[in-house]
Amino acid sequence: MPPQDTLIAKLEELERRYDGILEQMNDPAVAANHVRMADLAREQSHSRQIVELFRQYRKLASDRDGAQAILDDPAADADFKALASGELDSLRHAAADALEEIKGLLVMGEERQIDSIVLEIRAGTGGAEAALFTADLLDMYRRYVDRQGWTFEVMSASPTEMGGFREVIVGVRGAAVWSRLGYEGGGHRVQRVPKTESQGRIHTSAATVAVLPEPKNIEVDINWEKDVNEFTSRSSGPGGQNVNKVESAIKLVHVPTGITVSMQDEKSQHKNRAKARRILAVRVYEYHENRARAAEAAARKTMIGSGDRSQRIRTYNYPQNRCTDHRLRGEGQEGANFNLDRVLEGDMDDLIEALIARDRAERLANL
């Protein structure tokens, strides 16, 4: 089957599924099940744009083929031929544009369905300066999230005396958040004169960012009683008398994967356990997703969710006020560079849109 025929068949199947969802939602028995209705409404919402655009494309393609048929008919009226000839080019372009937009929605649609992520930012090489850079990245993401109208929750943090962070874990919720912040995973490098540098020398420090998707229904089978070992202890650090007297700190070990999560930020053991379980769930989810991705063909590799935290993806050069994303080098030197001040203020849309465009082009080439 030719590639376009395969695509049309896939779109027709999606349309049938969409119509089936609407029928189920009109069923009184289904409507009484609020959980099921919420799931159906979410799926219907994500499919609606593609289905509506496909129906628009089908009408344009039909009109295009009709105009071509009139031109090919030797018995057709001359006035009809003139009218068809005048419309044919615009119909061809409109149908082609609609199909390209559909392809883009298909290849990027999965990421757009994930409305919650966990960001893990860790200081790398560079000591105290790396910890300060981690704090700068945290502020950058906070500002970007505020601009988008999303929610930003610091779940866990390990601050340093100078105001930096050895590690900070953040939950971000918002429409299609994974499709935009999913590109932040990897190694981030900063070049600047540290506050502690007396001779004005430029230092290079680093931090790593991991972005973990947190779907509403994480399909990871975790038996919290059998698969997870839980340990409690007294919290350390500042926080009042309760911190050191009550065993509120939680450590979870997922035996099948060896993944460990510790949480002590809250005074309540219950709250620490809830946060630790949430982080453990997304890490186990990422673990299984990475294994599944590793088994796929190399051609299907995507920038989002690569999970390679050691990869250097971006450099923040303070002396030159330049932010360079190394994944965009193929777009030319200027295409990879952005104004550092604007990026740090959370004005990241141009940078993220460039990454989305590159990712979309790669996926379309492999569709």
- Residue 308's domain is classified under what CATH number? 3.30.70.1660
Question: Looking at the domain assignment, is residue 319 inside a domain?
Answer: yes
Do 261 and 283 form a contact (C-beta atoms < 8 A)? yes
pLDDT of residue 19: 93
pLDDT of residue 219: 58
pLDDT of residue 264: 86
Question: Looking at the domain assignment, is residue 17 inside a domain?
Answer: yes
Examine the domain organization and report whether 97 and 236 are in the same domain. no
Examine the domain organization and report whether 308 and 189 are in the same domain. yes
Question: Looking at the domain assignment, is residue 223 inside a domain?
Answer: no
Of 236, 271, 294, the last residue of a domain is 294
Question: Looking at the domain assignment, is residue 32 inside a domain?
Answer: yes
Examine the domain organization and report whether 205 and 234 are in the same domain. no
Into how many domains does the chain fold? 3
Range of the domain at 34: 3-111
- What predicted TM-score, i.e. pTM, was given to this entire model? 0.67
In 3D space, the residue among 307, 277, 310 whose CA is nearest the CA of residue 292 turns out to be 307
Examine the domain organization and report whether 60 and 104 are in the same domain. yes
Question: Looking at the domain assignment, is residue 222 inside a domain?
Answer: no
Examine the domain organization and report whether 289 and 309 are in the same domain. no
* Ramachandran class of 32: left when φ > 0, alpha when ψ lies in -120 to 50, beta otherwise: alpha
Q: Which residues of the chain have pLDDT under 50?
A: 239-243, 296-310
Question: Looking at the domain assignment, is residue 137 inside a domain?
Answer: yes
Examine the domain organization and report whether 9 and 50 are in the same domain. yes
Of 111, 141, 156, the last residue of a domain is 111
Q: pLDDT for 290-301, tens place per residue?
A: 776 665 433 333
Q: Residues with Cβ < 8 Å from 37, sequence gap 6 or more?
A: 25, 30, 31
Output b/e per residue, 274-285; b: 16+ Cβ within 10 A. Answer: ebbbbbbbbbbb
pLDDT of residue 333: 59
Residue 189 phi, psi (nearest 5):
-120, 140
Separation CA 41–CA 38 (nearest Å): 5
Of 259, 294, 329, the last residue of a domain is 294
Examine the domain organization and report whether 255 and 354 are in the same domain. no
Examine the domain organization and report whether 35 and 105 are in the same domain. yes
Examine the domain organization and report whether 120 and 104 are in the same domain. no
Do 208 and 187 form a contact (C-beta atoms < 8 A)? yes
Separation CA 342–CA 209 (nearest Å): 20
Question: Looking at the domain assignment, is residue 299 inside a domain?
Answer: no
Q: pLDDT for 59-104, tens place per residue?
A: 999 999 999 999 999 988 888 889 989 899 999 999 999 988 888 7
Examine the domain organization and report whether 98 and 11 are in the same domain. yes
pLDDT of residue 295: 55
Question: Looking at the domain assignment, is residue 188 inside a domain?
Answer: yes
Dig out the tokens for 97 from the structure: 């544009």
CATH number at residue 277: 3.30.160.20
Examine the domain organization and report whether 191 and 329 are in the same domain. yes
Examine the domain organization and report whether 188 and 130 are in the same domain. yes
